[in-house]
Amino acid sequence: MSRNDGLFAATYTPFTSDDQLNLPVISPFTEHLIATGVNGLFVCGSTGEGMSLTVEERCQTAAAFIAAAAERIPTIVHVGHNCLSDAAALSRHAAEQGATAVAACSPSYHRPATLADLVEAMADLASETPQLPFYYYHIPSMTGVDFRMIDFLKQAANRIPNLQGLKYTAPTLDDFQQCLAFDNGRFHMMWGVDEMLMSAWAAGATAAVGSTYNIAAPIYRQLIDDFKAGNLIRARERQNQAIAMVRTVQQVAFHPGMKAVLRSLGVDCGACRPPQPQLSTEDGTALLAELKDLGFYQWVNQEAPS
């Protein structure tokens, strides 16, 4: 199975003002991502509010992003669900639509009690689409499932034939680095903490999935280029820019704030679904002004809102 490296945007799902899917936005959104240097899409994950969508909405969203990408860049579809039968249906649908790969996080209501239980659940799910590469999505802050991933790989390596690797969204770089080295680098490890991208690259990462790549891919692309060129001082500067940007958005509700920034760049994905809060007009305006003062719009080569 081929590997796709670089920056994968964890895409936002666009909604109308009355909280319905706004599918026509997906094509121009995808064009924005490609134009700003994103190398791939990760659809219906945490950023995309996959767990706040119905199964039918997830199918429609995945199909729209796959069609918009039109095989120019790879599309990984997240199919994780508390109901594994629904996860299987989502996986089959993704395969039918032409997804590059699928990914799944652990069920989080009735969580697997042991690592063996998790491996078996993921093996059953991955077997639904044996022709597609499968990624396990490790995000313990959301699922509460926090086994060491090096142990997961050791158990899953010969149990899940189409296991491609992991989407690793946790700050435990030591475990991540062990996973990178396991079995002579057998598995594709996708880093998921944007504020630590440089550290992940130093550990040996070559791929990452993140929400802030929707708005700031140029910062991270330059960081990677500087790192590869051995210009560590400049790479650190880029990482510090990214951290400052993230911390600024975190002063308001993060994903509603991110959607406000994305709107200022010409892509209106609407608001987030409850229970995520709505961002007031005042808070949104203040956020954009603070980012402008920070220098964010210059960093990403975009015109600041007036």
CA nearest neighbour of 13 among 26, 30, 2: 26
Residue 137 falls in the annotated catalytic set: yes
Question: DSSP alpha helices (H): ranges in 13-114?
Answer: 26-35, 55-69, 84-97
**CB hemisphere CA count around 103 (13 angstroms):** 29
Cβ partners under 8 Å of residue 268, min gap 6: 14, 25, 262
Q: Which of 135, 136, 167, 168 is catalytic?
A: 167
Q: Which of 12, 137, 168, 213 is catalytic?
A: 137
Cβ partners under 8 Å of residue 292, min gap 6: 304, 305
∠ CA(147), CA(100), CA(69), 5° rounding?
Answer: 125
Exposure of 54 by Cβ count < 10 A (0-12 exposed, 13-18 middle, 19+ buried)?
A: exposed
CA nearest neighbour of 31 among 5, 69, 57, 64: 69
Catalytic residues: 137, 167
